[in-house]
């Protein structure tokens, strides 16, 4: 392949210095050294599946497609038939793992098939449990408390099916309501944890909820911009009011590009209103893989200064890359996201510096598992002489645990993003995590599975070949 | 010469700029309502001796969109004379010139994209996205057929053999008659018309009565970019009055039709008659007719995706697409869950004037359609169980309630006959085989699809489902030029697919030529 140029607007990176780079490397080294890397994952089958999946893209497709369909299958026969179909070599395959071929043979033996199906079923739900904290609140709360004892904060995310009716969105609305008021009340009895419940600007809520706007309105459509906003405001404002009463943090998650402008405008309008203007504990997401994310950052800084009360921004790279690229291609649109991961990585660093510079107007949450990205931000915060708890680090439940512990030990505030939900939506979440963890450019895969050298992992994205 | 074909980009309403463009165009177009356009070249006129054909907004029938002169039989005769006289010259115009005109027309449409879409929003009740997709498809047809003609315009060598040059080349048929529907009033009309022209035929195009203003805009574009007056003739008129005489006229060599099976079959029948004296030969007919399209929901389908696909296919443009979903075949193991959510999703759709993007559904095209669909619904109610019928329907305008019926007997008319409206028959199936069998049990074979995650069942459907356009794990409407060549068989049509590589061949006569290159034992150098 021809070497490609990094996009000009990404390379425009004036604030970074050599000193910063040296410091970034040093911090990254320390985080790695104090992480116990052997703890990749205790689940044998999970590791096995990832290993198989990364060996061959066709195998990966078949395995993940099976995991994807499994939760809707009810009878043992259905499950067996699908297992046989997906584990048999497709016609396009030239080679096929022996282990899978053998499994197919065993599946054809009636006595064994029942056993294998049950095992597969059990293992897949175990795998899902690695990434989903609980099916409901009862299951979840004890785990949250245990995490708090480990000095890990949380933000809860409700997993669910797509919303098609008012009934569906009412259901989510009441779930969120229960979550805010139920947890808000319970949290008053929780032991205070000064690492988690305090930022440099003062105390922060121990209950933190991540809100998906798309779950609250089945007719949400950017074409009908104003009417969508009106309906959404009507539904979300009571939630935010409740959150203020109960001292709960509300974060607006960012989903597909098509909903970006609506989500942003909704957040901006609500936070501008007098009744919400003086509450600090609201947040929104900026996705660094978006080509427009630098504008987002600029806009939010300006807005925060106007508002005169800080709010939070969770800076992530973005989880809908494939989807965005496909949408753009099928509609003949320019892609809204960077083509290469290293461009997103570099842009992430630039955005994080701009946001740190905006402190205390904005409190930054670094949503990433990439230790290079995090170290760079930490190094820059040090350069700016910001207090250690002027920002926080957020990572997904069930991922990168060694890093979390290491960062906690170093005195940073770490928050886990905890999905709560049933098997059906849970498994599509699992498939996304599997895809992420088996991708060749995954930082975690390189760190824990491939044994890539730490120096290589910590290299600046600027110097990376595209 | 021509850059590679690329589909025109849809507007992206997630962007403030594109939203603003659409709002601005709707506003501007609404201030220009009420103009009258002439026959032939669609010039704006202020007075005429002819009767006017008026086009109103189906969302607000008191609002006049515009009018055109109504062609009489005498006008039709003039039109025939004009394009018959022009045929010789146009057929000998270099293909490159004709191709360049299509490119110019595409550019003209790109420039007026939002305006054209806005006209369709008002004239036929398309929602923003549906109207925009229509305009983009029209642009795609121009660009795609231009490139197809570039490919087909050079004689092709059939075989290399010593002493002979053997080629096949395509020649225009002569005069084409295009009879277009109102449901894709720009895309289908433009597609059929520019296909006729780029292949070197002259053309009379008769738009549907409900969509004459957008058709006049197309004629205006053709005039502005420089198609010669004698190559095309815009001829709006009452189908019953001028249709038969045009179809039967000896000067017409080809009829390109999209519309109902009833009219299509009668055209095919008339065209098949023994040629009259002075007629060049047997008339060629390309007819795209109806559909009774089924979507199968298998027991292992991703129900979120299936719902999205089903709702979009069933209710987009109020079900008035040839490709629209009208039969939902749901596996018994997911029947209750899926059908409940389908009904809930249908009840979440808001119905109102199409220009307001707050509404997901607009009106049906005219009063006649409204009456016909309502009658179908009330008759079906006497036989079938109603699962859902929308209640919140505006009183003004040609609105009909989206309605869902449960069908047990597959012989029921609602399961067999095209409704062309937002009326859906849902039927429980016990296996994928039964689903395919039922899907195939109708006279039509246009679009269809399945949501399944079993590779073997997907293969089965690919093999056994009788449809021109099969869609797997996605909506069954929204064919894109070049990507999804479109058209069906059985009673859904004759002729090959629009927007596909065989389409233009139908507009031409292939001639092969064998030229001896040997003179007195001396073979010419191959050149």
> ipTM of the predicted structure?
0.92
Q: Rounded mean pLDDT of B119-126?
A: 98
Is B278 within 8 Å of chain A by CB?
no
Model confidence at B216, pLDDT cuts 50, 70, 90, reads very high
Instruction: Based on the fold, state whether residues A115 and A191 are members of the same structural domain.
Output: no
Cα distance between residue B188 and residue B137, in whole Å: 8
Q: Are B188 and B135 in contact (CB under 8 A)?
A: no
Substitution target in B4, B14, B16 with the highest count of A β-carbons within 10 Å is: B14
Residues 6+ apart with CB under 8 A from B108: B221, B224, B225
Residues 6+ apart with CB under 8 A from B335: B428
- Report the mean per-residue pLDDT for chain B: 97
Last residue of some domain: A402, A421, A440?
A421
Closest Cα to residue B262, out of B417, B486, B468?
Answer: B417
- Report the mean per-residue pLDDT for chain A: 91
Instruction: Based on the fold, state whether residues A341 and A398 are members of the same structural domain.
Output: yes
Instruction: Based on the fold, state whether residues A69 and A154 are members of the same structural domain.
Output: no
CB–CB contact A223 B311 (8 Å): no
Min distance A158 CA to chain B CA atoms (Å): 17
Is residue B176 annotated as a catalytic residue, yes or no? no
pLDDT at res. A37: 58
Among A72, A73, A166, whose Cβ lies nearest the Cβ of B348?
A166
In a domain, A3, yes or no: no
Closest Cα to residue A346, out of A460, A186, A232, A215?
Answer: A460
Overall pTM surpassing 0.90 (yes/no): yes
Cα distance between residue B473 and residue B295, in whole Å: 10
- By residue range, what is the domain housing residue A75? 44-129
Cα distance between residue A16 and residue A26, in whole Å: 16
pLDDT at res. A298: 97
In a domain, A464, yes or no: no
Q: Is B499 left (phi over 0), alpha (psi -120 to 50) or beta?
A: left
Q: Are B198 and B145 in contact (CB under 8 A)?
A: yes
Quick one: which H or E segment has residue B509?
strand B508-516
Which residue shows structure tokens 């032939």? B40
Beta strands A311-316 and B44-45 are unpaired
pLDDT at res. B343: 98
Instruction: Based on the fold, state whether residues A323 and A365 are members of the same structural domain.
Output: yes
Q: A442-451, B196-205, B357-366, B491-500: which has the minimum mean pLDDT?
A: A442-451
CB–CB contact B10 A333 (8 Å): yes
Instruction: Based on the fold, state whether residues A125 and A137 are members of the same structural domain.
Output: no
Q: For residue range A137-168, what is the model confidence (pLDDT) as tens digits? A: 999 999 999 999 999 999 999 998 889 999 99
Instruction: Based on the fold, state whether residues A105 and A137 are members of the same structural domain.
Output: no
Contacts of B303 in chain A (CB under 8 A): 72, 161
Model confidence at A464, pLDDT cuts 50, 70, 90, reads low
- Any bridge partners for residue B70, and if so which? none
Model confidence at A10, pLDDT cuts 50, 70, 90, reads low
Last residue of some domain: A67, A97, A129?
A129
* Beta-sheet strands, E only, within B261-396: 284-288, 293-297, 325-331, 385-389
In a domain, A28, yes or no: yes
Q: How many CB atoms lie within 10 A of CB A104?
A: 17
Report CA dihedral (B109, B115, B118, B122) to the nearest 10 degrees: -100
In a domain, A142, yes or no: yes
SS3 A55: helix
Residues 6+ apart with CB under 8 A from B16: A261
Q: Rounded mean pLDDT of A356-366?
A: 97
pLDDT at res. A123: 87
Q: Rounded mean pLDDT of A208-222?
A: 95
Handedness of CA A225, A219, B348, B319 (dihedral sign): positive
Instruction: Based on the fold, state whether residues A400 and A387 are members of the same structural domain.
Output: yes
pLDDT at res. A463: 65
Is A82 within 8 Å of chain B by CB?
yes
pLDDT at res. A249: 98
Quick one: which H or E segment has residue A239?
helix A225-246
Instruction: Based on the fold, state whether residues A118 and A142 are members of the same structural domain.
Output: no
Q: For residue range B477-503, what is the model confidence (pLDDT) as tens digits? A: 999 999 999 999 999 999 889 999 999
Cα distance between residue B428 and residue B401, in whole Å: 23
In a domain, A459, yes or no: no
pLDDT at res. A424: 78
CB–CB contact A219 B360 (8 Å): yes
Q: Which residue of B has its CA nearest to A72?
A: B300
Q: For residue range A286-336, what is the model confidence (pLDDT) as tens digits? A: 999 999 999 999 999 999 999 999 999 999 999 999 999 999 999 999 999
* Beta-sheet strands, E only, within B1-132: 35-37, 44-45, 52-57, 60-69
CB–CB contact A74 B453 (8 Å): no
In a domain, A403, yes or no: yes
Dihedrals phi, psi of B7, to nearest 5 degrees:
-65, 140
pLDDT at res. B513: 97
Dihedrals phi, psi of B500, to nearest 5 degrees:
-125, 175
Cα distance between residue A309 and residue A272, in whole Å: 10
Q: For residue range A166-180, what is the model confidence (pLDDT) as tens digits? A: 999 999 999 999 999
Closest Cα to residue A259, out of A295, A232, A297, A241?
Answer: A232
Instruction: Based on the fold, state whether residues A99 and A176 are members of the same structural domain.
Output: no
Residues 6+ apart with CB under 8 A from A403: A31, A35, A369, A371, A395
Tokens of A299: 């806009």
pLDDT at res. A337: 97
Contacts of A63 in chain B (CB under 8 A): none
CA distance readout (Å), B254 to B193, B202, B250: 12, 10, 10
Q: For residue range B129-173, what is the model confidence (pLDDT) as tens digits? A: 999 999 999 999 999 999 999 999 999 999 999 999 999 999 999
In a domain, A331, yes or no: yes
Instruction: Based on the fold, state whether residues A236 and A310 are members of the same structural domain.
Output: yes
Min distance A12 CA to chain B CA atoms (Å): 25
What's A401's domain CATH number? 3.20.20.220
DSSP string, B180-214: --SSSTTHHHHHHHHHHHHTT-EEEEE--GGGHHH
Quick one: which H or E segment has residue A363?
strand A362-367
Q: Rounded mean pLDDT of A236-244?
A: 98
- Number of domains, chain A: 2
Query: Over 80: is that where the pLDDT of B105 sits?
Result: yes
CB–CB contact B12 A331 (8 Å): yes
Tokens of B65: 């969109």
Ordered domains of chain B (ranges, CATH): 16-289+492-511 (3.40.605.10), 293-472 (3.40.309.10)
Query: Over 50: is that where the pLDDT of A4 sits?
Result: no
Model confidence at A466, pLDDT cuts 50, 70, 90, reads very low
Query: Over 50: is that where the pLDDT of B321 sits?
Result: yes
Cα distance between residue A207 and residue B204, in whole Å: 71
Q: How many CB atoms lie within 10 A of CB B292?
A: 26
Q: For residue range A186-195, what is the model confidence (pLDDT) as tens digits? A: 999 999 999 9
Length of chain A: 466
Among A78, A164, A261, whose Cβ lies nearest the Cβ of B344?
A164
Last residue of some domain: A113, A129, A145?
A129
In a domain, A137, yes or no: yes
Q: Are B121 and B26 in contact (CB under 8 A)?
A: yes
Q: How many CB atoms lie within 10 A of CB A270?
A: 20
Is B4 within 8 Å of chain A by CB?
no
Contacts of B308 in chain A (CB under 8 A): 162, 164
Min distance B302 CA to chain A CA atoms (Å): 7
CA distance readout (Å), B57 to B121, B125, B359: 9, 7, 16
Q: Are A227 and A217 in contact (CB under 8 A)?
A: no
CB–CB contact B358 A332 (8 Å): no
Model confidence at A43, pLDDT cuts 50, 70, 90, reads low
Is residue B288 annotated as a catalytic residue, yes or no? yes
Cα distance between residue A417 and residue A157, in whole Å: 7
Which residue shows structure tokens 């277009």? B180
Q: Rounded mean pLDDT of A11-18?
A: 63
DSSP 8-state secondary structure symbol assigned to residue B318: G
Tokens of A74: 């009810």
Q: For residue range B386-398, what is the model confidence (pLDDT) as tens digits? A: 999 999 899 999 9
Catalytic position from the list B130, B137, B288, B299: B288
Tokens of B260: 């109902």
Instruction: Based on the fold, state whether residues A85 and A154 are members of the same structural domain.
Output: no
Q: Rounded mean pLDDT of B413-439?
A: 98
- Any bridge partners for residue B161, and if so which? B164
Tokens of A306: 């106007």
Q: Which residue of B has its CA nearest to A80?
A: B454
CB–CB contact B341 A165 (8 Å): yes
CA distance readout (Å), B489 to B145, B163, B435, B442, B468: 22, 43, 19, 12, 6
Instruction: Based on the fold, state whether residues A95 and A209 are members of the same structural domain.
Output: no
Q: Are A381 and A387 in contact (CB under 8 A)?
A: no
Closest Cα to residue A127, out of A427, A421, A418, A396?
Answer: A427
Q: Which residue of B has its CA nearest to A79?
A: B300
pLDDT at res. A126: 86
């Amino acid at each position: 392949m021809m070497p490609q140029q990094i996009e000009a607007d990404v390379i425009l990176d004036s604030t970074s210095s050599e000193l910063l780079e040296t410091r970034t490397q040093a911090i990254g080294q320390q985080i790695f050294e104090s992480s116990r890397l052997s703890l990749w994952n205790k689940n044998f089958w999970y590791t096995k599946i990832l290993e198989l999946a990364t060996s061959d893209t066709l195998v990966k497709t078949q395995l993940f497609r099976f995991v994807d369909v499994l939760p809707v299958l009810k009878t043992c026969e259905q499950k067996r038939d699908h297992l046989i179909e997906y584990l048999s070599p497709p016609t396009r395959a030239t080679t096929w793992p022996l282990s899978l071929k053998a499994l197919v043979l065993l599946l054809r033996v009636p006595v064994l098939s029942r056993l294998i199906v049950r095992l597969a079923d059990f293992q897949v739900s175990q795998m899902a449990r690695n990434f989903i904290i609980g099916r409901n609140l009862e299951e979840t709360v004890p785990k949250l408390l245990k995490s708090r004892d480990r000095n890990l904060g949380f933000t809860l995310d409700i997993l669910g099916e797509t919303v098609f009716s008012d009934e569906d969105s009412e259901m989510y609305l009441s779930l969120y309501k229960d979550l805010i008021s139920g947890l808000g009340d319970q949290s008053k009895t929780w032991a205070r944890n000064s690492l988690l419940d305090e930022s440099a600007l003062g105390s922060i809520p121990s209950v933190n909820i991540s809100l998906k706007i798309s779950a609250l309105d089945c007719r949400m459509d950017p074409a009908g911009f104003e009417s969508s906003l009106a309906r959404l405001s009507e539904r979300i404002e009571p939630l935010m009011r409740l959150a203020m009463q109960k001292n709960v943090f509300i974060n607006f998650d960012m989903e597909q590009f098509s909903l970006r402008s609506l989500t942003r405008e909704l957040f901006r309008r609500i936070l501008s209103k007098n009744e919400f203007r003086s509450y600090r504990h609201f947040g929104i997401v900026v996705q660094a893989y978006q080509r427009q994310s630098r504008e987002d950052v600029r806009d939010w800084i300006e807005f925060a200064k106007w508002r005169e009360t800080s709010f939070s921004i969770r800076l992530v790279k973005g989880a809908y890359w494939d989807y965005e690229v496909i949408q753009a291609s099928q509609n003949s649109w320019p892609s809204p996201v960077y083509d290469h991961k290293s461009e997103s990585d570099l842009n992430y660093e630039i955005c994080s510096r701009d946001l740190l510079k905006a402190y205390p107007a904005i409190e930054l949450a670094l949503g990433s598992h990439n230790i290079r990205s995090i170290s760079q931000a930490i190094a820059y915060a040090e350069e700016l002489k910001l207090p250690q708890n002027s920002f926080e680090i957020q990572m997904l439940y069930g991922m990168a645990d060694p890093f979390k512990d290491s960062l906690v030990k170093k005195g940073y505030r770490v928050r886990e993003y905890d999905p709560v939900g049933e098997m059906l939506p849970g498994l599509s979440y699992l498939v996304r995590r599997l895809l992420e963890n088996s991708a060749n450019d995954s930082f975690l895969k390189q760190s824990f599975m491939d044994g890539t050298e730490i120096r290589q992992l910590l290299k600046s994205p600027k110097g990376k070949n595209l | 010469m021509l850059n590679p074909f690329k589909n025109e980009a849809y507007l992206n309403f997630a962007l403030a700029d594109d939203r603003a463009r659409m709002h601005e165009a709707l506003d501007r177009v609404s201030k220009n309502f009420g103009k009258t356009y002439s026959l032939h070249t669609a010039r704006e006129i202020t007075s005429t001796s002819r009767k006017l054909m008026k086009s109103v907004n189906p969302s607000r029938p008191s609002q006049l969109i515009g009018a055109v002169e109504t062609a009489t039989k005498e006008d039709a005769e003039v039109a025939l004379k004009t394009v018959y006289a022009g045929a010789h010259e146009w057929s000998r115009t270099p293909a490159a010139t004709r191709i360049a005109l299509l490119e110019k027309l595409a550019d003209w449409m790109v420039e007026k994209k939002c305006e054209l879409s806005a006209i369709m929003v008002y004239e036929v009740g398309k929602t923003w996205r549906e109207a925009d997709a229509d305009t983009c498809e029209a642009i795609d047809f121009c660009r795609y057929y231009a490139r197809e003609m570039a490919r087909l315009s050079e004689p092709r060598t059939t075989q290399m053999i010593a002493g002979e040059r053997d080629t096949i080349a395509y020649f225009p048929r002569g005069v084409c008659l295009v009879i277009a529907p109102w449901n894709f009033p720009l895309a289908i009309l433009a597609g059929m018309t520019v296909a006729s022209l780029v292949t070197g035929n002259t053309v009379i195009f008769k738009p549907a009565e409900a969509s004459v203003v957008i058709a006049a805009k197309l004629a205006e574009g053709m005039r502005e970019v420089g198609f010669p007056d004698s190559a095309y003739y815009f001829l709006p008129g009452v189908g019953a009055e001028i249709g038969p005489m045009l179809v039967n006229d000896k000067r017409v060599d080809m009829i390109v039709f999209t519309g109902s099976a009833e009219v299509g079959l009668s055209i095919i029948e008339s065209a098949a008659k023994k040629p009259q004296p002075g007629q060049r030969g047997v008339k060629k007919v390309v007819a795209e007719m109806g559909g009774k399209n089924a979507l199968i929901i298998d027991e292992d389908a991703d129900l979120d995706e299936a719902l999205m696909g089903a709702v979009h296919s069933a209710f987009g443009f109020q079900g008035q697409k040839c490709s629209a979903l009208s039969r939902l075949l749901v596996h018994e193991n997911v029947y209750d869950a899926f059908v409940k959510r389908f009904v809930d999703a249908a009840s979440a759709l808001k119905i109102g004037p199409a220009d307001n993007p707050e509404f997901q559904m607009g009106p049906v095209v005219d009063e006649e359609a409204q009456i016909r669909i309502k009658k179908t619904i009330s008759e079906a109610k006497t036989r079938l169980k109603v699962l859902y019928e929308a209640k919140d329907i505006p009183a003004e305008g040609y609105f009909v309630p989206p309605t869902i019926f449960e069908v047990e007997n597959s012989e029921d008319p609602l399961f067999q006959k095209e409704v062309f409206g937002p009326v859906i028959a849902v039927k429980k199936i016990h296996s994928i085989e039964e689903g395919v069998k039922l899907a195939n049990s109708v006279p039509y074979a246009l679009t269809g699809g399945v949501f399944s995650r079993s590779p073997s069942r997907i293969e089965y459907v690919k093999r056994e489902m009788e449809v021109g356009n099969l869609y797997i794990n996605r909506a069954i409407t929204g064919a894109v030029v070049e990507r999804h060549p479109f058209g069906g068989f059985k009673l859904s049509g004759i002729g090959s697919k629009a927007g596909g590589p065989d389409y233009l061949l139908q507009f031409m006569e292939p001639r092969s030529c064998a030229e001896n290159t040997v003179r007195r034992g001396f073979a010419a150098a191959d050149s």
